[in-house]
Structure 1
């Protein structure tokens, strides 16, 4: 005769709680998401300061001002963003199997990861936007120096600076994690197919625009967009990339 257990069932924690737990898993090692990007920011800023000091020490007269203004073409301000590609890959390779080991569903992992990306992108964009405004005030005081105010940041308002940095981070997070998810599901063959598919789509779009004569209007339209609109549009491919990653993770095995 089979005994019937009268012990109360163990209640499963609510979905919001488990989504929050996914975010905590991502942020267990805060150096990955926060520490290293800001270390790179500090190092890049230090290098820019050294370059500016070398210009002041070695160039005089009108040429000095021209050389200092030339720093406005430096891409050093974007240097922390390239590291975020590593974060997107680690979010899948390291955290995904670990999260499912705690009975977190794939859907909860995806939502928690997305919220982590949004939170980190907003945090970093806010910090960098504040530093941009500080540097803008320094330039207004008569000291010519460009690191955070390089490229389009020099003329953009604080809202546009924040939006552009936020969108770029989300796009990098989404694309790299999508590639990692495809690799986790289909391995090397999936990566080859994905790269070929991306190349075919891009070439197809360009060929269609050229053959139909719509390329010039499209180019004029793109150049006519405001900086804010252009970077807001980057959220669309970011969403598509995240959706691709989610579809891959739905069938991805936990191990090799």
Structure 2
């Protein structure tokens, strides 16, 4: 347990999990969009997708963790298993805290839109449902994006550039074939109906399941990964 706690301290030594996403990404994005909303004064509300920036930063943090912190942790004789467990606990705590604040801001914004009808945290579909459902949607999405970045770098750690290139090639070809089949057999309508038939919280649950798969596959790869 001491080694897991050490990993958590290593990951938080420069505050990249909290300071960067909130102070250097989300806050500037919010202020810029607030200024735009004050200037244009839209009659039907001002909707922005800038909230996605924090999820992108979470993915980058996941990549940074395995790129920079992993070699440092191994240099301190920390086991790879402990590193992964410490990372999972850190990400869970960060996502829990960050998405709790985002959910509260979404609720407050939904009550007034900051007085000018701006929707930055409270967005259609994404913010539907109860406060718990809103939180779960944000939490599962943030958790998924973090370990997507972690998983991508884990492939590089285990198989090098060749393995990573092969992975993205397979993803591209698979996506192209799937897109062709969906168009040829007319599956797009059914897919669209399935997506719209599920709430954001339900779709986020699938993202969380995929994130757990990322964690398991990453563990198998970093066990034999070179530093």
Task: Tell me the TM-score normalised to structure 2 length.
Answer: 0.89
- Structure 2 vs 1, CA of residues 117 and 231 (structure 1 numbering), >3 Å: closer, same or farther? same
Deviations 1:81-135 (A, max 9, x none): 2122221111001111111122211111111111111111111101111111121
Equivalent residue, structure 2, for 1:125: 99
Gap regions ≥5 residues in structure 2:
none
Equivalent residue, structure 1, for 2:87: 113
Q: Matches of 2:119 and 2:104 in 1, distance apart?
A: 14
Say whether 1:36 aligns with 2:20: yes
Please report how far the alpha carbon of residue 182 of structure 1 lies from its aligned counterpart in structure 2 after TM superposition.
1.3
Q: In the alignment, which of 186, 189, 202 is matched to residue 229 of structure 1?
A: 202
- Structure 2 vs 1, CA of residues 205 and 107 (structure 1 numbering), >3 Å: closer, same or farther? farther
- Structure 2 vs 1, CA of residues 43 and 214 (structure 1 numbering), >3 Å: closer, same or farther? closer
SS state at 2:18 partner: helix
Q: Matches of 1:91 and 1:150 in 2, distance apart?
A: 30
- Structure 2 vs 1, CA of residues 221 and 90 (structure 1 numbering), >3 Å: closer, same or farther? same
Kept in 1: contact 2:155–2:164 (CA 8 A): yes
* Pairwise CA RMSD: 2.2
Say whether 1:104 aligns with 2:78: yes
The alignment covers a number of residue pairs equal to 226
Q: Matches of 1:117 and 1:94 in 2, distance apart?
A: 16
Kept in 2: contact 1:185–1:248 (CA 8 A): yes
Gap regions ≥5 residues in structure 1:
1-15, 57-63
Q: Matches of 1:171 and 1:156 in 2, distance apart?
A: 21
Say whether 1:26 aligns with 2:4: no
Q: Matches of 2:63 and 2:196 in 1, distance apart?
A: 33
SS state at 1:152 partner: coil
Please report how far the alpha carbon of residue 171 of structure 1 lies from its aligned counterpart in structure 2 after TM superposition.
1.2
Task: Tell me the TM-score normalised to structure 1 length.
Answer: 0.79
Q: Matches of 2:182 and 2:40 in 1, distance apart?
A: 45
